[in-house]
């Protein structure tokens, strides 16, 4: 056993040297071709290197391609160069870069492959990497091909597909092969088949390849243009004549600046063609003198409208494909149309996901307000600050619990308790004395909102505080290149669904829910049945505020936690409640969905201007309320009366 272990160790130690010796043996066999490579003569060298399957081959090819290889003309071997001192150069091993020899500077020959040879080497490197045992290395090679596609990569890529074990990587190789063949294929049939195979591919590189095939150049001619014509150009009269002038097919139009320059060039004394300069103070006077100069042949004559129209009518203006094969461009045009339709559908799906995500955020932010507003008719301007309290609760928990998953589990119920306690305190101390006085309630809660913001600034400062999400919520779910959604937003959507189910259960299956609905519909009748409206108002306000606290934790995971963060959601929360119908869970859900879809739809027309989107959204909601003042799902009772 000891001898076996010793033998294995010796073989591992000797392996790099043997590999290097084998590499040098191959290089010495083709020493002249390596030292002075040509595009036609480099093939046998590459073939022998690839056939050897030595791990040192790709390292050598990379350094050969980068012109880092030198030859010691004394021993004929190939090295990398190290430090130079007193005319002596340190020679390094090609693979390990360890010093292995020294030589006079005069015997060192730099190996400089030209551009054609470097492309051949690059293709060989691609083939080597595409067959690498490491899947990440193969993916890296594919990414390199996608960044810099060329015809030399077709055969190495095609040859690597048969032995590819990963279905995903094989699919990517086939897609890239179709892109390469579509652009650089040798036959029309091969290119058309590759283009048609891209009909279901919506990646940006596939669309770019099809667009490059359909690139055009403008051409002006007196008869039908030669080549693969895409169609006539639609040009204005001025633009058409300007193109004729640029092509040297028509005389330029004489501009006022040209008239001025011509007159200055023909000044004699204080006059031009006998006309005093002091009289040339109008356009008509200058044009008259210029016309006389043109009649004498001293300047170019004016171009008349009749001449312009005749010149335009005598020529054709066409767009001609750069690609000369009409069958290829026809196939690319059909395929690109199909791909564009799929791109539109996928972008619509992505926009729908964004709208759904935004709707879930608005639902979480507004559901607590919908409950309090619907049951008590209280306009609570401090609702956004309960969201802020929940977010800061999550931040504080993370300061004591560094495990973000555990801290999130603790923060959600704790945020509910903190915000609910604050809501109950506000209801007991302020709101209970202001029922049926909406203006005073609005002003009081607005003042409490400002006070809570200032309190948060005093405690946490004005800088944004991080509320870090767990690693499993990092990144995003990528369906394809056009559809993706972050895991945080998915989690918020799931949380919103959970609260929807929980609230429906509380309102429809529990005694508290029955009492809340009774007070909502008719507080006087509920009181006569033994229900304490005052107690229900307190519990309802606490429930709505607590839900806002949980919403704050969820929103803080992707938005900045600041003292003003609640103000960013109070307007949307009120719009959601009003549009959906106050005091109703389903109405809040419908309102959140409508506002989320509407905002994303408007942003789709101008993504860079979210303020304009919100403005248009508010205008739409104002019109909507005129048509349906009680909202999408209206309740009877106190909410309806308010």
* Domain coordinates in residue numbering, the chain: 2-117, 131-215, 218-321, 344-570
pLDDT at 3 > cutoff 50: no
> For residue 414, what pLDDT is reported?
95
Per the CB < 8 A criterion, the answer to whether 507 and 327 are in contact is: no
Alpha-carbon distance of 389 to 404, in angstroms, equals 19
Q: Is 104 helix (H, G, I), strand (E, B) or coil?
A: strand
pLDDT at 105 > cutoff 50: yes
Of residues 96 and 413, more confidence is placed in 413
pLDDT at 196 > cutoff 90: yes
pTM to 2 decimals? 0.70
Taking residues 537-557, what's their average pLDDT?
Answer: 89
Taking residues 565-580, what's their average pLDDT?
Answer: 83
> For residue 608, what pLDDT is reported?
62
pLDDT at 493 > cutoff 60: yes
pLDDT digits (tens, 9 = 90+) for 329-343: 999 999 999 999 999
Taking residues 420-444, what's their average pLDDT?
Answer: 88
> For residue 607, what pLDDT is reported?
62
Structural tokens at position 628: 């349906």
Q: Is 267 helix (H, G, I), strand (E, B) or coil?
A: strand
Short-list 469, 505, 501, 507, CA closest to 488: 469
pLDDT at 11 > cutoff 50: no
> For residue 424, what pLDDT is reported?
93
> For residue 64, what pLDDT is reported?
83
pLDDT digits (tens, 9 = 90+) for 227-269: 888 889 899 999 999 999 988 888 888 888 888 888 888 888 8
In the chain, DSSP finds a helix count (H) and a strand count (E) of 26, 13
What phi, psi does 165 have (nearest 5°)? -90, -30
Taking residues 623-637, what's their average pLDDT?
Answer: 73
Alpha-carbon distance of 200 to 194, in angstroms, equals 12
Most confident stretch, 283-297, 364-378, 593-607: 283-297
Q: For the chain, how big is the Rg over CA atoms in Å? A: 39
Give the burial string for 4-42 (b: 16+ CB within 10 Å, else e).
eeeeeeeeeeeeeeebbeebbebbeebeebbbebeeeeb
What is the DSSP secondary-structure string of 318-344? EEEESS--HHHHHHHHHHHHHHHHHHH
pLDDT digits (tens, 9 = 90+) for 162-178: 888 888 899 999 999 99
Helix (H) or strand (E) segment spanning residue 218: strand 216-221
Q: In DSSP terms, which residues pair with 218 in a beta bridge?
A: 319
> For residue 213, what pLDDT is reported?
92
pLDDT digits (tens, 9 = 90+) for 341-376: 999 999 888 888 888 888 888 888 888 888 777 666
Helix (H) or strand (E) segment spanning residue 606: none
Confidence band (pLDDT; 50, 70, 90) for 182?
very high
Alpha-carbon distance of 614 to 375, in angstroms, equals 28
pLDDT at 617 > cutoff 50: yes
Alpha-carbon distance of 424 to 427, in angstroms, equals 5
Taking residues 465-474, what's their average pLDDT?
Answer: 86
Q: Is 357 exposed, middle or buried (0-12, 13-18, 19+ CB in 10 A)?
A: buried
Q: Is 135 helix (H, G, I), strand (E, B) or coil?
A: helix
> For residue 5, what pLDDT is reported?
32
Of residues 138 and 520, more confidence is placed in 138
Confidence band (pLDDT; 50, 70, 90) for 637?
very low
Query: Residue 266 has what DSSP assignment?
Result: T
pLDDT at 19 > cutoff 70: no
Taking residues 497-524, what's their average pLDDT?
Answer: 82
pLDDT at 122 > cutoff 80: no
Taking residues 295-308, what's their average pLDDT?
Answer: 87
Using the structure block, give the residue that is written with the tokens 């604050």.
422
Taking residues 464-479, what's their average pLDDT?
Answer: 86
Taking residues 496-508, what's their average pLDDT?
Answer: 85
Confidence band (pLDDT; 50, 70, 90) for 634?
low
Structural tokens at position 300: 């170019």
What phi, psi does 168 have (nearest 5°)? -65, -45
| Residue 286, CA distances (Å) to 255, 275, 295 in order | 12, 10, 14
pLDDT digits (tens, 9 = 90+) for 20-39: 447 888 888 888 888 888 87
Alpha-carbon distance of 388 to 401, in angstroms, equals 20
Taking residues 616-623, what's their average pLDDT?
Answer: 82
With pLDDT > 70 as the criterion, what percentage of the chain qualifies? 94
Average pLDDT over the chain, rounded to whole? 84
Chain centroid, CA 446 distance in Å: 39
> For residue 635, what pLDDT is reported?
56
What is the DSSP secondary-structure string of 386-446? HHHHHHHHHHHHHHH---HHHHHHHHHHHHHHHHHHHHHHHHHHTGGGSTT-HHHHHHHHH
Beta sheet of 78-85, edge-to-edge order: 99-104, 88-92, 78-85, 70-72, 108-110
> For residue 609, what pLDDT is reported?
63
pLDDT at 633 > cutoff 80: no
Q: In DSSP terms, which residues pair with 217 in a beta bridge?
A: 320
> For residue 176, what pLDDT is reported?
92
Structural tokens at position 135: 């899947």
Most confident stretch, 32-36, 126-130, 278-282, 426-430: 426-430
Alpha-carbon distance of 391 to 415, in angstroms, equals 8
pLDDT digits (tens, 9 = 90+) for 386-404: 999 999 999 999 999 989 8
């Amino acid at each position: 056993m000891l001898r076996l272990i010793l033998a294995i160790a010796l073989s591992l130690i000797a392996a790099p040297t043997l590999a290097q010796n084998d590499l040098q043996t191959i290089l010495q066999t083709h020493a002249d071709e390596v030292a002075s490579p040509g595009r036609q003569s480099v093939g046998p060298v590459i073939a022998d290197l690839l056939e050897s399957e030595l791990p040192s081959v790709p390292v050598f090819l990379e350094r050969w391609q980068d012109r880092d290889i030198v030859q010691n003309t004394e021993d004929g071997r190939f090295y990398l160069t190290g430090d130079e001192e007193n005319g002596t150069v340190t020679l390094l091993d090609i693979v390990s870069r360890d010093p292995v020899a020294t030589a006079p500077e005069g015997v060192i020959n730099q190996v400089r492959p030209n551009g054609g040879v470097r492309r051949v080497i690059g293709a060989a490197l691609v083939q080597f990497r595409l067959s690498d045992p490491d899947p990440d290395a193969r993916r890296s090679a594919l990414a390199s091909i996608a960044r810099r596609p060329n015809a030399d990569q077709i055969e190495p890529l095609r040859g690597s597909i048969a032995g590819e074990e990963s279905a995903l990587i094989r699919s990517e190789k086939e897609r890239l092969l179709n892109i390469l063949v579509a652009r650089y294929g040798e036959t029309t049939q091969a290119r058309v088949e590759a283009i048609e195979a891209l009909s279901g591919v919506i990646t940006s590189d596939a669309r770019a390849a099809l667009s490059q095939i359909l690139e055009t150049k403008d051409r002006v001619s007196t008869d039908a243009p030669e080549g693969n014509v895409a169609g006539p150009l639609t040009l204005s009269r001025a633009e058409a004549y300007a193109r004729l002038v640029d092509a040297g097919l028509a005389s330029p139009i004489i501009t006022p600046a040209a008239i001025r320059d011509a007159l200055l060039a023909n000044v004699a004394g204080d006059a031009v063609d006998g006309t005093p300069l002091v009289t040339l103070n109008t356009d008509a006077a200058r044009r008259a003198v210029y016309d006389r100069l043109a009649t004498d042949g001293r300047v170019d004559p004016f171009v008349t409208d009749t001449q312009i129209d005749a010149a335009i009518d005598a020529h054709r203006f066409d767009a001609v494909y750069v690609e000369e094969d009409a069958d290829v461009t026809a196939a690319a045009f059909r395929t690109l149309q199909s791909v564009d339709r799929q791109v539109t559908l996928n972008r619509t799906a992505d926009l729908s996901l964004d709208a759904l995500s935004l709707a879930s955020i608005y639902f979480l932010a507004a559901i607590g307000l919908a409950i309090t507003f619907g049951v008590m008719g209280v306009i609570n301007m401090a609702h956004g600050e309960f969201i802020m309290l929940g977010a800061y609760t999550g931040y504080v928990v993370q300061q004591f619990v560094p495990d973000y998953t555990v801290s999130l589990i603790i923060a959600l119920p704790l945020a509910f308790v903190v915000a609910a306690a604050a809501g109950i305190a506000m209801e007991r101390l302020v709101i209970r004395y202001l029922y049926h006085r909406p203006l005073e309630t609005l002003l009081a809660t607005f003042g409490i909102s400002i006070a809570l913001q200032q309190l948060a600034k005093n405690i946490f400062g004005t800088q944004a505080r991080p509320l870090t999400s767990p690693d499993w919520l990092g990144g995003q779910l990528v369906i394809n290149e056009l559809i993706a959604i972050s895991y945080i937003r998915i989690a918020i959507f799931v949380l919103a669904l959970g609260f929807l189910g929980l609230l429906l259960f509380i309102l429809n299956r529990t005694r508290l829910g029955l009492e809340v609905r009774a007070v909502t519909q008719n507080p006087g009748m509920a009181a006569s049945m033994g229900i304490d409206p005052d107690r229900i108002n307190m519990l309802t306000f606490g429930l709505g505020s607590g839900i806002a606290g949980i919403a704050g934790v969820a929103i803080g995971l992707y938005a900045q936690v600041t003292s003003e963060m609640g103000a960013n959601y109070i307007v949307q929360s009120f719009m959601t409640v009003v549009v959906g119908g106050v005091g109703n869970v389903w109405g809040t859900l419908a309102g959140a969905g409508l506002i989320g879809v509407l905002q994303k739809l408007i942003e789709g027309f101008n993504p860079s201007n979210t303020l304009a989107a919100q403005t248009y959204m508010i205008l739409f909601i104002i019109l909507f309320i005129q048509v349906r003042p009680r909202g999408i799902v209206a309740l009877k009772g106190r909410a309806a009366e308010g």
